[in-house]
Structure 1
Amino acid sequence: MNALREILLQYYILLRWCILLIGVVNLEAQRKPEGFLNVSSKCLGNIMRVDVGPLGGNLLDIAAVINNSTILLTPSLASQCGFSVRMDQLGNTMIYASLQNCFAEYVEDKAFTTTLHLRLHGNRMAEDELYQVSKTCHYTTWASREIVCDRNYIEVSVERQGKVTPGQYVLPEHPVQGSNPRPAAKKQLIDGGFRIATLVFFTPEEKPMTVAVAQRNGYGIGTTPTRLTVRSPKNAPETYTQDVAGVPMTVLKTSTIFEKKWLTTQIDAAAACPALAGSVFITQNTIRWFLPRHIETLISYGPFKLLEVHMGVDGQRLDPAEMAARQYSLFVGDRHIVVEIPVGAVGGYFKSHVQDDQYLMAYTIEPMLELLWTEGSTHKNTHYKVLHPITTQLLSSPPQVIDNTVLEERAFKLLIGPFGSDVAVMNISLPYEVLSVEDCNVRGFNVLEHKSPNSNLKAFTVEVPFTDHAVLQTTEMGVKVYSLHMALGLVVLPEFAPFSHTAFVEAKLVDKVPSVSGGCDHQNFNVLVKYETHGLNFYTMVGKQILTPDMAQQYSLMENGTHFSFAVPFSDPAVEFEAVEESSIRSRLIVVLKNPETNTNIQEFSVACHFPSTLAECFPNGTMTALAVKLESVPSLNPSQLTLRDPTCGPSYSDDRYAYFVFTGRSCGTTRKFLSNVMLYENEISLPDKVRKELKTDEPDFGLQVSCYYDTNKPHAVAFQSRPRRSDPYAKNARGEMKVAIRLAVDESYSVFYRVDDYPVAMYLQQPLYFEVELLTRSRNSKLSLELENCWATLDEDRTSQPRWNLIINGCVNPVDPHRVILHPVWPDARVQNPSHFKRFQVKMFAFVEDQDNSSRQFFVHCDVAICDTTNHLGEACKQTCSNQEKAIKGQRRDISDVHSFKHVSSGRILV
């Protein structure tokens, strides 16, 4: 229907701008929580309304309370006594009661109190839940005649003429809960003389009945000190239909005869209510309700004058502003009063239905009209109230699928609906599986329910990433096509009527390949990766390692949403050395962007640069140093196997990328040549023949020539010191044993240490280790200073075993170690009396392994310790600093003149 399509369009527009987002409702959560009813009541003129609900699939029994008796309201008793019940699609219940109902307690026809007993029960409840609601309504603006047209009864209340005392008011026969029917369950009015003798119905022929017979036939008759009330079920035999201005009206017309001995009096009471059918006309998008302006059947005292017309919903009046907000309209013409309501407007609700797996909806609303008119010169007035429930025919409303996919986010975003609020999602069917809503959300589908704040319609959104295996991926002419076929499994509550709705969507995406560029400065490789707004749908390989968050922090990675940059140091393990030149090393960095799904390369980038490096140094005392690096062309080379010409002269330090040699002009096979004014010392670094034969490799031989030139004509200054002559007698200091210990601290506070019994100590990779070395001497001689000469790690307890990983070299941290040692200052405290007797350093736990597949290894840490005399001002050992990290490689050593002794310490076994 065009009207429904227009409503759906308006709903979608509203959903885009004003949406109430909630999680997908679990079916258990939609059921009414046990032990809880949200009950409220309000007075609406001459009727009262009690709001209960939702019931959550349970049953509700309603009973009236009078004279301490509880009387169950059956449908017939409810229509006879002035009660009606309405329930929406979710179980929200409204109970309407006339103020003059059979069980109301009243005071002078001004205050009316009704007490109801509610019992909630059902199969899911362990025990019944009982509630009681009591409401007193004040109503003093009684008209001469009050007419109420409710969904199941017609009620007319008129003034009693003259000073006639009330007659007997007997409740209809009914069951009393918890006791047998008895006179105590009867509501008596004091008999002052006149009593009801006969009730005459006009059909339109006269049909007299006694009060007892009328009550047995379902009619309600009652009197108060000032009023007479007659109530009839709709479509009762004694009512008839009359056409009034083209609108069929159900007419109740009675005359009540009162008698007192030989006297009689008569009170006429008539009411007319529009029939449910015949007064309402429904178009594609509008409901129109017609009510005659002048109801001739009710006019009997002369000229008619309409004073007031009010409209409302669910028994409650609405002011003009509220009507305009809901797009209601009210028109008072010469013959009719017309109410116009859009289908789907606020105040009504859609009820879902399933027929032959087709989803249908019907719209229900209960408008109200209140009229006030006067008749003739007597100015008798009539207050006329009609509650008129209206339900449209079933509307074919197939849900629509709106594709809100944003290609850059690489996920399908589907909006499916609208549905009534009584619809819930059970599951989602995919080509090869069926998933519950919970499973979908765990898998990353993000299934959500959306409700409109101004209607009871809802829609569902489903987000499915392109990367999910339920999404089919194909390529057409270089364009990647993503397609998704799914079906929503739905149910209508509370009937649990199942139905489904399928959706097929596809998205075409031209992938823009991210780009990589970069260059070098004097220390780092600088890399820039641009990926625009497509997100990080790739991962980055730097060399042979994945760029992890720890590495990103180490490389000072910076990102702004469209690109990121980072800097890789020249000495980083990810860098490959290509060639060694006279004063530089040519190095190469390879960066690869990979597809996380297929593990294929998206983009490859390689950059080579020359970095200044001093590979060999010559010292005036004849000491020479050389640094050999492992080149990319010889990947199987083990630098620790390199030697000088003398095969017994191996590196002083080595790892898997470097070998560092220290030798003199008279050792390790160094040759000497005399040239004009120059003396040339030469040596060569290479693999020994024995090792080369064992490797049996086709890789080229590694060889590095080391040369030092000394100018024979250049003078050199030599410093010396003469021993001062002592004139006074003196005694030599006695030498005692000085002990040194190394400990492993639990944390950086250096307050708790592992005991001997705790070894071996297990640590995790990259976990920091906190070592402390202490001079164990009873003397508090502050003139002594403990200095770390060399610290290294080995796999075996033997400190001379290979391989060896140097941590501190010649008192300075190893500059080429990727896990550099951190030296901690020592401050005096209760345990530390002389800070100069302590040294503390920290190093990250790293894998001391030759076989990378073996991740469970042990290792030991060893240190060479020098004990210095700080009073010797000629030596600089105790004052040495390492601001120039190359001191370690250059091989500068302490002046032994200020050293008392050297000690060696080793830690216990540490497990990786």
Structure 2
Amino acid sequence: MSHLFGLGWLFILLTIANIEAQKKPAINISSKCLGNVMRVDVGPLGGNLLEVAVVVNNSDILLTSSLASQCGFSMTIDQLGNAMIYASLQNCFAQNVEDEAFTTTLNLRLHGNQMGEDELYQVAETCHYPAWASREIVCDRNYMEVSVKRAVPDDYVLPEHPVSGTNSKFGDPRRAAEKQPIDAGFRITTLVFFTPEERIMKVTEAQSRGYGIANTPSRLVLRSSKTAPETYTQNVAGIPMTVLKTSTIFEKKWLATQIDAAAACPILEGSVALTPNTISWYLPRHIDPLISSQQFKLLEVHMGINGQRLDTAEMAARRYAITVNDVHIIVEIPVGAVGGYFKSHVQDNQYFTSYTIEPMLELLWTEDATHEDTKYKVLLPITTPLLSQPPQVIDNTLPEEQIFKVMIGPFASDVTLVNITFPSEVLSVGDCNVRGFNIQEHRSPNSSFKVITLQVPFTDRVVLQMREMGITVYSLHLTFGLLVLPEFAPFSLTAYLEAKLADIVPPSVSGGCDYTNFYVLVKYGTQGFDFQTIVGKRMLTSGLAQQYGFMENRTHFSFVVPFSAPDVMFEAVEASSIRTRLDVVLKNPETNKNLKEFSLACNFHSTLTECFPNGTMTALAVKLESVPSLNPSQLTLRDPTCGPSYSDGRYAYFVFSGNSCGTTRKFLPNFMLYENEISLPDELEPKRVKTDEAEYELKVSCYYDINTTHAVAFHTRPRRSEPYAENAKGELQVAMRLALDDSYSVFHSVEENPIAKYLQQPLYFEVELMRSTNPKVSLELENCWATQNDDRTSQPRWNLIINGCVNPVDPYQVVFHPVWADARVQYPSHFKRFEVQMFAFAEDQDNLSHQLFVHCDVVICDARNPLNGVCNGQCSNQGNKLKGQRRAVPDMQSFKHVSSRPILIN
């Protein structure tokens, strides 16, 4: 934040002694009348020291910081050396004509850095301001001012001198009453300050303490420093404000009267909220110390910058925003917006910036009780905390041009490059340009930052050369010496550049596969990255590159394509895998010729057909490259009425049983063979394009053992005398969690609510008995089911586990996973893990919602007394015939249970 720099108000912008002197820029001086204040713009100072004095009766009065706050002056200077001087129209030295015309004359003296005569400039400005409000308040950076009409309530004339605060009306600047002008014969004798306690001072004492007091033909003006002892802080609508509250006593012979005046200005800390991108300034809509009641009307709200009001179009162009609600007036300014400036800072050779802007708010309100209006103006300089702005070194060198090209930045405009250090010598900026290194500064339009570019020919002696295997390696070590003005703060930036020249090598493509992805590596060759990349049939745009994990450096780039991506072609379907191919083409954008063609074919494991013990079969059909016109949704089994349960542009998924959809059965010596085919129905064949395109036909087969022998053994249980716990159901301390995969090593966190899953993804559940250290106790799952809401008794209901066993009528049966002891699992018997296929919910489209809950009844068992049922590891529902559709079984009896968090189906 800019402030007055005390002791004569001297602002210094130092020039750099070791940089060649340049022609001093001309000083531009202009002045503007901005309502009840005047602004004088001076600059650029060009390294000069500025001294400001006020001209009164042909005499100069030097403005110090204390005199400035007492008399209504302030000054700020930006990072480019441009000064702005603000003056209240009613400042101590203004020539006042009937409170309508105000003339202020300033002498501006510039002292040069070197021996020579000072330069003196005089600026005089007359501002006309006849439309005074009943009360006008100005909050400037270093003072607060209140100007009120010289009028008091008609019952305020006292027969004797006032003493202390005996009058109950005394000291309320918001009091409403019919007011009469004060006789010109009255003079100011005493001031009463409310802190909020009363402090009484004679006028001479108040002036000696730095207060400005003026009695114009029709107005009383009171001015105070924001840090004066007689001010106090009050929280107004959550905003801290500095408050000045006074009564001024006028006397004439044996008569006395008084005028109450108050000002309240926001404090920066507490009224401004900062984010890395936005400045938000809050001002109370109802400023309690200045308004007597809620019965007031806010008539106007205006915003400006540097004291100058802006219209709506200009605010929109700068992306400023102003909002008025019942409590606050809120100004929002983007960091870096037009009207402010960035300042550079150096700490531990690290580069930072801060952003400074001085917004202004002008309010006009009237109170219903008094019908008097108030104009309120506040100028609030705001500076952000230090923003990390590490400069970058960007190497734009093209080896074939044989010139190193480097760009450094971005920097704020107050940074200058002083010299460059090479391993063998140090050169100033002027020496570099004479040497042909071509140093330039570049600034983008509508940007507060600049970059510096440097070019160094390979042939200069500061460039090192080394030959290796027919390749010349050029290297350049350099350190940029920079300064921040006017603080003269140094910092440096080091760079190492290297370039190689060799025989022309064309770009190349290589790659490989793992069990899920294609991995592609593209090397640029000696011509650099000057080609287009086609993946499959699509251009590798920035969006597609981001999707495929694109990574690059100066010599190559790489990306990863999943085997199921749309740019991958399916070539063939084999027993347990799909053969897929990825094509990559590098193309010259100018000639449209292919520089390199690359194809990578791999087999990816995929379970295309699954056979379930209950006779249910599933099959996955994919669209092959040899049948480009195929629409997978039109595929059917032998029975044309049996279409896919799910399909898209590349897949079709079928679910059917061994006695449906035209499935045939053959008896072989030791097993039965169930067969079906996936193809297009005959009525669709004539519609296909008659070319060399192959017909689509996929065989589906399932084998079931007929004669299989299983060995069964049993052991008698010896008699035991020790006591043991009976099996029972009860309130269990159990937890259910959802793992990311079947390794059950990483689980979804509590913050993920709901958990999002796709239909193609399985769900991996783990149920754990908590806080038990008894290895002879085991946890068993009796019943598990899914519902659409967290009410475990709600309908519809999908049964997953019944009496400890998988649902026998479910084609997508639950898969139990074994639990082994590891670092996390001390007692495997305390855990149960099972997997549910999300496809299981796809068929019930009428009842399926986008959200599911999974519930389980659990039983604690004693391994020494397993008895029967789930504790004995037996399925008590085996052999039962469950009728109706999949999982449509009657509700089980409610027991103590555990439930999952919501699962969102996409």
- In the superposition, the TM-score normalised over structure 2's length comes to 0.49
- In the superposition, the TM-score normalised over structure 1's length comes to 0.49
